[in-house]
Chains A and B, each alone.
Chain A
C-alpha cells in the first residue's frame, strides 16, 4: 500500500472510531427518517362528524385527500354535548342544520354545503358534471415534493461540506503544529500527505452522505411519501453524490491550503473565514434557488464554480434540467477543482513546514 492510501486509511479509521462520528451519523439518520415521515404524520385533513337523524354525506368524493369519520348520536342534545366537548368537528341534524362550536372550519363548511346541494340536486334528477381543471403552465404536480427534496439536499450538502472541510483543516494544523509533518514528510511527499488526508476524510463524508440518502429513500418509501416523488430520483441521487465529491474536493483543498498557513488550532477558524463565508454564500444562494429554480440567477450560477456544486443539484431537484447542462456544469467544476488542487498543493507543500507565526498567502505564493 503506498503512502497516500496509508494516510487515507488512518484518517478513515480514526474518524469512524470517534464517538462524534457515530453519534453524528445516528442523529442525522434519525433526523432524515423523521423528516421522511413528518408529512405523513402532519399531513392530510381529517374530520370527525356526527349525525342525528340524518344521512352521511359522500364528502370523500369531493375531497379525496381528507379523511372523514362519522358518528351517530341518538338525539340533538347528545350531539350538542359532543360538539362542545370537541369530540366531533360538526354534527348534521335532520339533514338540515349543522351544529358547530363557534365558526365552522371554512373548508369543512364549503364541503358540507356543496355536497349537500349536490345530493339534493341529484335526488331531484339534476346531474352536474364536475369542472375539468387543466393547467396551461409547467407540470406542477411534483412542485411541493421537488422543493422539499431540494431544501433537504441543500442543507445536507452544506452541513457535510462544512463539517468535512473543518476536519481537514484541523488535521492539517494538528500535524503542522505538533511537527508530526516533519516525520511524515521524511517518508511521503507533501502531495501524498495532502491527497491522502482529503481522500480519507472525503470517504468519511461520502459514508455520511450515502447513509443519509439510503435512509431517506427507505424511510420515504416505507412512509409512502415516495409516491409523491417526481420521476428520475435515481439520477438525482447519483448526481448529488457526484456534486458532493466535486464540491468537497474544491473546498477541502482550499481549506487544507489555508490551514497550512497557521500552526495553532485556535487560529483555524480565523484563517478559514473567507472560505466559510464563500460556502455560506453558496448555501444561501442555493436556498434562494429552491424557490426560483428557473430564474436567471439560478441558471447562471449553476454553471459557475464553486456555486454550481450546490446550485446545480438544487436545480436538478427543484426542476427538470437537461442532461447536457448538468454535464457542462460538471466539466466546469472539475476544471476548477483541478486548478484549486494544483494551487492548494503548492501552498500546502511550501507552508506546512514553516511553523510559527501565521503566514501570508501572498508571501507563500511569491516565495521561490
Chain B
C-alpha cells in the first residue's frame, strides 16, 4: 500500500514573485495493491509535483510518502516504475538496447534485462522497430518505449505522468491493457490524465486536485454518491405551467416538456408530471466524471 500524507511544497520565487508559489498545500491519498488510481486536475494543479515527490525526484517541504507501512526510501524506489511527464529517452540509442539499459540500471542481470525487454517489445508492438534509434520513431511509438522503460524491471509500483497523452485510440487500448494486467498482478498504479472518460473507464479510484489541494478522492462510485445526479423528466402534451414552483429548468421541444433538476423531491415531481400529461421518461442520471470534476474544481 502506498500512502501519501499531507505533502506540502513551495517553490522559491523569482524577482517577480518573491513569496514563491505554493505547489502543494496538503495532498493526501492512498493507493492499495492492485488498485488503479487516476489523478486528475487542471494544468498546474500539482499532479506532476506530487508524482515527482513520490519518485524522490523532488523533495517535499513537509509530509510523507509511506510504502508497506514504512517511509519510502531509496531502495524501495528502485523497484518503482516511473514515466515522467516530459518523456526522457536517449534519442540516439536503439529501442531494445535502451530498454535493456534501464532494466540493468534498475538491478536486472544481463539475461533478465534482455528477456524482459524482448517481451515488452513484443507486447507493445514494437517488434519491427527494436533496432531503430528512438529518434526515428513516431511520438506514439516513443511513448511505448517510454512505458517499456517504466515496466522493464517488473516494478512493485507504477507512477505514470500523462501516459496516454498524444496516443491514438488503438495505442491507448494497448497501453491500458498492459496497465490493467500489471494492476491485476497486485501492483498499485497511479497515473495522471486529462482524458476523464478514460480515467472513468480504467480507474478504481480517482483523486481530483485543484490548486495544490486534494478536493475529492475515493472510488468513482463514492464520488458519484457524494454528488446527487440530475433528475430528468420528459412529459408529452403537458399542461403549461405544470412545473411552476419546482426547482430546476424546463425546456420545451415541440410538444415535449423536459425538466432537469437536482436535489428535489422526486416522488412529488413524478406525481405532478403524471397529472400534467403523458410521462415518457423519468430518471436520475449518474454524473460523469467530467461533471464531478467541474463541480469539485469550481
Contacts and interface: CB of A to CB of B under 8 A. Distances in A.
Contacts of A355: 86
A25 to B, nearest CB: 19
Given A178-B86, A178-B88, A187 B57 contact: no
B57 to A, nearest CB: 5
B87 A178 contact: yes
B82 interface: yes
A351 interface: no
Interface string B54-88: 01111000000000000000100110101011111
A182 interface: yes
Nearest to A181: B88
B131 interface: no
Interface string B95-125: 0000001101111000000000000000000
Nearest to B107: A187
A183 B12 contact: no
Interface in A168-196: 174-175, 178-189
B93 A1 contact: no
B242 interface: no
Nearest to A182: B84
Given A3-B105, A6-B101, A353-B58, A186 B90 contact: no
Nearest to B91: A178
Nearest to B57: A182
Classify chain A's interface size: 20 to 34
B55 A182 contact: yes
B52 interface: yes
A11 to B, nearest CB: 11
A186 to B, nearest CB: 5
Given A179-B88, A180-B88, A183-B102, 17 more contacts: A6-B101, A174-B90, A178-B89, A178-B91, A179-B84, A179-B85, A180-B89, A183-B150, A184-B105, A186-B57, A187-B77, A187-B78, A187-B102, A187-B107, A188-B105, A189-B74, A355-B86
The prevalent SS among residues of B at the interface is loop
A1 B105 CA distance: 9
Nearest to A178: B88
Given A6-B104, A10-B101, A178-B86, A185 B91 contact: no
A187 B105 contact: yes
A210 interface: no
B56 A183 contact: no
Interface in B17-57: 52, 55-57
Contacts of B106: 187
Contacts of A1: 104
B149 interface: yes
Given A14-B93, A353-B58, A186 B88 contact: no
B184 interface: no
A367 B88 contact: no
13 contacts: A6-B101, A174-B90, A179-B86, A179-B88, A180-B90, A182-B57, A182-B88, A183-B149, A184-B105, A186-B80, A186-B82, A187-B102, A367-B12
Contacts of B80: 186
Given A14-B93, A353-B57, A353-B58, A183 B104 contact: no
Given A178-B87, A353-B57, A183 B101 contact: no
B92 interface: yes
A183 B77 contact: no
Interface string B186-224: 000000000000000000000000000000000000000
Nearest to A357: B14
Nearest to A174: B90
